[in-house]
Structure 1
């Protein structure tokens, strides 16, 4: 892989051009770093016709529902512009962990867990919301919570 860096103090805005033969994991990692817009820990979320700038630590969990992505801040549900996967790639290092195919949970907002009669696990958040932890992600969740 060739890399060219051209530093030009005369330009008004940084521009990155990537030319690849095909998409691969290395390029995806580079793009995720470039696209990280959480330098200040704030992301834009939409509710009705307004855009709110919300700090990541205020979000309890993010879900995918009807092919749309929503973030919960307190009891309020906001629309996130991208997919759940893109949210995970950008902000996963900010205490978010996948608990199901449709949900990312903020570890800081988890209050307690309950087992159901069917053997599944439900996480209750400090804001009163709850989500089911799928069996597929239960082991990963346990590891992430117990390593701290």
Structure 2
């Protein structure tokens, strides 16, 4: 259980660190970036998928993946928008993406459970038929 909690924590942190550029840090050396904000954004968007991949190996709660999907979607819509000074409707679009993602996961989960049910039913019937044949052969 501790592993799942740690994985969930890493998945959520992987999404939230991309907003650490909003904290107002200032460094003396920005590795040739225009500002510390740009450097922190570039660094955290590079580290975020790595942390997400590490966290995913700890079998986190599936609900925790909503955070990175929301953040990455909002950033994608912001990058594709005309207004770079404001997030605008990016959060609304990202929320719609998350809702679609959750519905897709629920649909796929239901489909997988249905397939497992029928597979178990068929294997049980096969086992019963094999047993019936074995009884009649004796």
Higher gyration radius (CA): 2
TM over 0.5: no
TM range (shorter): under 0.3
Structure number with higher strand proportion: 1
Q: Give the TM-score normalised by structure 1.
A: 0.26
Q: Give the TM-score normalised by structure 2.
A: 0.27
Higher relative contact order (CA 8 A, sep 6+): 2
